[in-house]
Structures are given as C-alpha cells and as structure tokens.
Chains A and B, each alone.
Chain A
C-alpha cells in the first residue's frame, strides 16, 4: 500500500517537474515570437490576440501548464503539501538540463551547486512518508 502511494506520488511529481518548466519555456518562446505586445489603442487588441495565440507554441505551453496544475492537484489529494511543494523544486534542475541540451546554454557553477543542494534536500523529503494528515470526512 505504501509502495503504491510512493509510486503514484513520484509519477505525479515527475509530471510536474517536466510539464511546468517545459510549459514556461514554450510560453516564453511564444511571447518572444509575438514581439512587443501592445494593448493601446483598443484596436490593437485583436492584433495582439492573433500574434500571441496564432503560434502553436503558446497552445503547447498552455497544455503543459494545464498538465502541471492537474498533476499538482492530484498530488495534493494523495500526499502532503509540505511533501509535494518542495519536491517540485526539482524543476529547476530540469530547466537547467533542458537549457544545456536543447538551447546550448551555459549554466554557471553556482546554479549547478544550487541544483545539487535542491536534490540533496529532496532526498531527505523522499525518506519521509508522503502523507501524514487525514482527509476530513
């Protein structure tokens, strides 16, 4: 029973730490492609809408963000908030790896050190039981 709870929680956290950063990257890319967003005069609204929502990347980004929120909510139904929230910080590591692999960015030693400390912290949290509170009936 406990192993199944751990597995379900790990799976949902894995979805969160991948879907969240990927969604952010796609939305950021879409906003850069759209150029400077103008809200004034009001006649610009439609143009702004087409620029922003005309790119497939914004829809892909929204889909990934939606996956993140669903995984977060389902995670909170089976595990503690104080377990899921810090574990999701592993997403910072995913962002760094995605940046290096796909965007050929350089990541500073300080940032890698921070990611290593996050992983070390999550390894402590992983050793605790995911759920310590009861659901109110």
Chain B
C-alpha cells in the first residue's frame, strides 16, 4: 500500500510540479528577444509567479518520495515505472495547460514511453 502511495507521489507530484512550472512560464509570457539579458528578465518575472513555488515544492516532495521508495525497492523496479510520467504529462498538458494534442503527438509520446522503459530496463 505504501509503495502505491509513493509511486503515485513520484509520478503525480513530479510531473505536476513540472506542469506548474509550465503554467508559471505561460503566465510570465514569452521571451521578446533570444538574448541572455532578456532570458534573465523573464526568469526574474517568473520567480514572482506563485506557480513556480508550488511547482518547486511538489518536485521536492516527489524527490523525497523517490528516495523513500528506493530505500526498500530495487532501482530496476522503481525507475521504469516513472516512464508513466510522460503519459501523465500529456494529460496534464491538456487539462491544466489547455494544450491541444494531435494524434502525431500522442503516437510520439507513446513511443517515448516505450523507449524510456526499454532504456531503463536495459540498465
């Protein structure tokens, strides 16, 4: 039971944290110019958006959940399951960020999930 909760935390909080960063960057706006000074200004503005800090907190919780799970489960079992984050990320992109996924992107995400699982199993 505790394994299931920790797996859920790793996938949902880890991907959720990244989605919050995505939300923050969307609220901050695009870089006007592709220059270091413009990038720093944009990042400075992003730090004032609450979603950044929610995202960082969620990612930190996911990281500690991963450490906790690794303390009693093998890496070869834990890490491949995290490939599910690509699927959760796609769903989060649709429902949380309002992204529109074409069939090509779905196929691509599915293949990336399979590929990442193969890479991690092969380790």
Is the C-beta of A8 less than 8 angstroms from some C-beta in chain B?
Answer: yes
User: With the chains together, A81 CA to B22 CA distance in Å?
Assistant: 6
User: Least Cβ distance of A106 to chain B in Å?
Assistant: 11
- How many B residues touch the partner, as a band? 35 or more
Enumerate A81-117 residues with CB–CB distance to B below 8 Å: 81-83, 85-86, 89, 92, 96, 108, 110-111, 113-117
Is the C-beta of A62 less than 8 angstroms from some C-beta in chain B?
Answer: no
Contact between A82 and B116, CB atoms less than 8 A apart: no
Is the C-beta of A43 less than 8 angstroms from some C-beta in chain B?
Answer: no
Contact between B107 and A124, CB atoms less than 8 A apart: yes
User: With the chains together, A124 CA to B43 CA distance in Å?
Assistant: 30
User: Least Cβ distance of A103 to chain B in Å?
Assistant: 14
Is the C-beta of B50 less than 8 angstroms from some C-beta in chain A?
Answer: no
Contacts of A47 in B (CB 8 A): none
User: Least Cβ distance of A8 to chain B in Å?
Assistant: 6
- Determine which of B18, B25, B94, B116 lies in contact with A92 in the assembled complex, contact meaning CB atoms within 8 Å: B116
Contacts of A116 in B (CB 8 A): 115
Is the C-beta of B53 less than 8 angstroms from some C-beta in chain A?
Answer: no
Contacts of B19 in A (CB 8 A): 81
- How many A residues touch the partner, as a band? 35 or more
Known A80-B99, A135-B27, A136-B26; contact A114-B118, beta-carbon cutoff 8 A: yes
Contacts of B25 in A (CB 8 A): 73-74, 76-77
Q: B4-12, B67-75, B84-92: which one contacts chain A?
A: B84-92
Can you report 8 residue pairs joining A to B where beta carbons are below 8 Å apart?
A: A70-B43, A77-B31, A80-B93, A111-B119, A113-B118, A121-B107, A121-B109, A124-B104
Interface set of A (CB-CB < 8 Å, partner B): 8, 70, 72-74, 76-78, 80-83, 85-86, 89, 92, 96, 108, 110-111, 113-128, 132-136
